[in-house]
Structure 1
Amino acid sequence: MNARQVQLVQHSFAQVQPIAEVASDLFYARLFELDPALKPLFRGNMQAQGHKLMMMLGVAVANLNKPEVVMPALQRLGERHAGYGVTEAHYVTVGEALLWTLEQGLGEAFTAEVRLAWEAVYLLVAETMQQAARRMTTPEASPVRSSLT
């Protein structure tokens, strides 16, 4: 991800923020349309979930130039999502829903260059979260005490 991509993502997200509630509604509607089996993973108030989504995106986008801030937060998020039952395949569907939502929200401003920038950001986010989730589910992640000690 280069400086131009960061700028494009930050600028385009600023355009989406005023319609954050609509955008989150669009996102979840599209997500469940793409994969209805994901719906049971979301318990509770979807409006609150949408607010959390937009807040998390806002923090990640605002800190794209500060990996020391965004990476640990994404790792913790990936660990939590592993506990919710999120699989690596789900990240593909989420990425598709996110890009579709941005296209709907931004209209003509969602240019090919903006799309590529968001794809780069989402790839970084998804890979970071997935790596953290894998660490949570591998035998090395949970220390096993020897019965000999």
Structure 2
Amino acid sequence: MTSDDQALVRASWAQLQPQAEQVGAALYQRMFSDHPELRHLFKGEMDEQAQKLMRMFSRAVATLEDLESLDRVIKMMGARHSGYGIEDEDYPKMREALLATLAEQLGDGFTTETRRAWSRVYDELAEIMIEGSAN
């Protein structure tokens, strides 16, 4: 991930912060709409789940230049998600939902470059989670 990628992700995330809870809810809504087979894997309050996801993205965005600092936490999340039944092939589904939600929320601000930057961030995070799920 380049410094330009980091700047694009940070700038777009700053735009989303005021409505982070709604963005999180929209993301899960999109994922369950596009991939209803995943709904049964998510137990409990989805509002709470969306808040947790947005907090994790906030932490990741704050440390983009050093995602390894979150390595242990992200791997633990991957292991937990594996225990819930999330499989490696489910990560691209969340990626699709994230990118579609960002496009919807950011409108014209979600440029090709911004999409590419978010894809790189998500792919790095997913890779670390998948490593954690293997352990």
TM-score (norm 1): 0.87
In the alignment, what sits opposite 2:56? Answer: 56
CA shift for structure 1 position 58: 0.5
Tell me the distance in 2 between the aligned counterparts of 1:104 and 1:96.
12
Post-superposition CA distance 1:91-142 (Å, at most 9, x none): 01000000001111111100000000001111101111111212x2xxxxxx
In the alignment, what sits opposite 1:105? Answer: 105
Tell me the distance in 1 between the aligned counterparts of 2:130 and 2:21.
27
The letter for the 2-side match of 1:22 is Q
Post-superposition CA distance 1:2-60 (Å, at most 9, x none): 11101111111111111112211211111001111111111111111111110011111
Which SS does the other structure have where 1:65 is aligned?
Answer: helix
CA shift for structure 1 position 68: 3.7
Which consecutive residues of structure 1, in runs of 5 or more, have no partner in the other structure?
137-149
In the alignment, what sits opposite 2:65? Answer: 65
TM-score (norm 2): 0.95
Once the two structures are aligned, what percentage of the paired residues are identical? 41
Tell me the distance in 2 between the aligned counterparts of 1:51 and 1:95.
17
Post-superposition CA distance 1:53-77 (Å, at most 9, x none): 1001111111111234222221111
Equivalent pair of 2:6/2:65 in contact (CA under 8 Å): yes
Equivalent pair of 2:24/2:53 in contact (CA under 8 Å): yes
In the alignment, what sits opposite 1:12? Answer: 12
**Structure 1 residue runs of 4+, over 3 Å off?**
none
Which consecutive residues of structure 2, in runs of 5 or more, have no partner in the other structure?
none
CA shift for structure 1 position 80: 1.0
